[in-house]
Amino acid sequence: MTKNPVAEARRSALRTLSERERGRISLNEVFELATPARSLAHDIALGVRRHQFLLDALLRVHLERSLRELPDEIRELLRIGAYDLVFRDRIPRELVVNECVNLAGRSARWRGLVNAVLRRLGEAIRFLDATDHEPDRRTAWVRPGRFLQHEREFLPDPATHLVEWFSKVYTLPESFAGRLHHLLPLEAEPLFRALSTKLPVAFRPTRRLDFSTERLAEEMRTHGVTAVRIAGAIVEAETEGNVGALPWLAEGRAVVQDLVAAEVAPFVDPKPGERILDLCAPPGGKTIHLAELQGESGEIVAAYSGTARLGHLADNIESAGLATIKLHDLHASGENLPAGPFDRILVDAPCSNTGVLMKRVDARFRATAEEVARLADIQLQLLLRVAPLLRPGGCLIYSTCSLLPQENGYLTRKFLKQAPSFTLEEEHLRYPHRTSRDGGYMSRLRQA
């Protein structure tokens, strides 16, 4: 009997989310399935986490107990069912409920609970097609042009608890939502919507082989991949299955790299013959871009902190075929710095990932004040440690995929106070709702 790929995907997503809840795996470790079931399972698992606070708020209306009191599998199964009902609303309601009941196991108690809660939820919601809607306690944004409305109030009152309302609707820690609302009071909701939107995959053609965005988009069509649009140096595409097996990636003619990330290497502005350090190189997208821009003379030192952090860096560099890139192990301690001097140093620092929450979904739950402070300390120490490796007149380039001032502009100025021989030449902060892709920050600091 042929297996139902949707049922397979839902079962795999349930296992993934349950194991993730126990801290055993990451969301990217979806249990192996045949394509397209594996791709769909990944999308469901990510979708549930991306909208978890909203799903939980809806479920609580129809539960007589706390979600936390339920077994992990039943709690995640209810979230999956609610996700299907709200965000995959073209699937017949009866089918969603029946398949979730089948996944609840043999216990009549849990099968009955799943059946009752999801049926009540399905009957209590309707959808509005609109470009916008005034915030209220019954209505939530689902996707552009689409809103969910529940027959009962299930959200905080936005008139008195607006930040808490944002937190629930867009699944963001309340402290993080509050910081962004304070920074951009008139643009907070468009930003939150951007951070909650699933994006197509972004591919950047490599310059080494003179492979243009137009040629890449044309080749995508011949392989059944839908090119959504060309934006700057990237091509957005809708694709299922193993992205790494696509020929333009396997042959090194393109890399997966988002719009703002693709701006970093041109901002570094590498020149032929220069010696450049990429301090936090894995997985290597920016390293490869630097080498492409520099040409065939010079040296790019791609540094990584021990073999555990090497990841796909070596494979990506080998695939790109760029002889100017040299690997350097900083060791797990990070103390084994390469010998200077360097003409340019890129510190693409570990950060909160708050500019790429649409892709790094779980990062939203780590965006606490304590975690941001810890990361900011690491970022400052990295800059201070590599600054002496620059030659006089050299450039130190700092970049993050964060939106928070503590990791960006404030951090840059904190470094300048402690390193007075440097001056700020230029800096940029990109917000996802303005780029329609990702967000991030970069600054260029010149050594006297």
Query: Position of tokens 């739950």?
Result: 365
Residue 127: phi and psi, rounded to 5, are -120, 145
Does the pLDDT at position 134 exceed 60? yes
Same domain, 217 and 101: no
Q: Do 370 and 335 form a contact (C-beta atoms < 8 A)?
A: no
3-state SS class at 270: coil
What mean pLDDT do residues 273-300 have? Answer: 93
Residue 420 lies in a domain: yes
The average pLDDT across 212-240 equals 90
If asked whether residues 90 and 220 sit together in one domain, one would say: no
Which tokens in the block code for residue 403? 């939106």
Total-model pTM: 0.91
pLDDT above 70 coverage of the chain, percent: 95
Same domain, 375 and 230: no
Mind listing the pLDDT tens digit for each residue in 416-442? 999 999 999 999 999 999 999 999 999
Q: Which residues contact 56 (CB under 8 A, 6 or more apart)?
A: 67, 79
The four Cα atoms 85, 354, 316, 347 give a dihedral, to 10 degrees, of 180
Domain end point (choices 132, 161, 179): 132
Which structural domain range is residue 31 located in? 1-132
Return the higher-pLDDT residue of 20 and 266.
266
- The H-assigned helical ranges of 125-227 are 162-170, 174-183, 188-195, 213-222
- 45: CATH: 1.10.940.10
Distance (Å, rounded) from C-alpha 92 to C-alpha 97? 9
In the chain, the percentage of residues whose pLDDT exceeds 90 is 74
127 C-beta neighbours (distance < 10 Å), count: 12
Average pLDDT, the chain: 91
Domain-ending residue, one of 116, 132, 148:
132
> Does 436 reside within a domain?
yes
Domain boundary among 132, 148, 180: 132
Residue 184 lies in a domain: no
Burial of 417 (C-beta count, 10 Å sphere; 0-12/13-18/19+)? exposed
Strands (E) across 297-341 are located at 299-304, 325-329
User: Are 252 and 266 contained in the same domain?
Assistant: no
Tell me which DSSP letter residue 230 carries.
Answer: E
pLDDT at 27: 61
Strands 299-304 and 422-430: unpaired
Q: What is the per-residue pLDDT across 59-70, written as a single tens digit (0 to 9) for each? A: 999 999 999 999
Does residue 251 fall inside a structural domain? yes
For residue 1, what pLDDT band results from cuts at 50, 70 and 90? very low
β-pair type (422-430, 390-400) = unpaired
| 246 and 307 together in one domain | no
**pLDDT for the residue 224:** 85
Residue 331 lies in a domain: yes
Give the N- to C-terminal CA distance of the chain in Å, as an integer.
72
430 near 354, Cβ under 8 Å?
A: no
Say if residues 428 and 251 touch (Cβ distance below 8 Å): no
Amino acid at the residue 80: I
Length of the chain: 448
Kindly state whether residues 238 and 304 are assigned to the same domain: no
> Has residue 225 been placed in a domain?
yes
In tens, the pLDDT along 73-131 reads: 999 999 999 999 999 988 899 999 999 999 998 999 999 999 999 999 999 999 999 99
Which one-letter DSSP state was computed for residue 295?
Answer: -
Shared domain for 271 and 353, answered yes or no, is yes
Least confident segment among 175-189, 328-342, 395-409: 328-342
The pLDDT value given to residue 168:
98
pLDDT confidence of residue 240 = 72
pLDDT at 90: 84
Please check whether residues 117 and 206 belong to one and the same domain. no
Split into its structural domains, the chain has a count of 3
In a domain, 140, yes or no: no
Pull the structure tokens for residue 122: 């399905």
pLDDT of residue 317: 81
Task: Say if residue 341's pLDDT is above 80.
Answer: yes
Identify whether residues 41 and 13 lie together within a single domain: yes
Q: Quick one: 391 and 363 in the same domain? A: yes
Same domain, 287 and 247: no
**Residue at 354 is within a domain:** yes
C-alpha–C-alpha distance, residues 331 and 195, integer Å: 34
Residues 6+ apart with CB under 8 A from 69: none
Same domain as 245, residue 310: no
Of residues 8, 9, 4, the one with CA closest to residue 46: 9
CATH number at residue 285: 3.40.50.150
Q: What is the pLDDT of residues 227-283, one digit of tens each?
A: 999 998 899 998 876 777 888 888 888 889 999 999 999 999 999 999 999 999 998
CATH number at residue 217: 3.30.70.1170
For strands 226-231 and 234-238, give the pairing. antiparallel
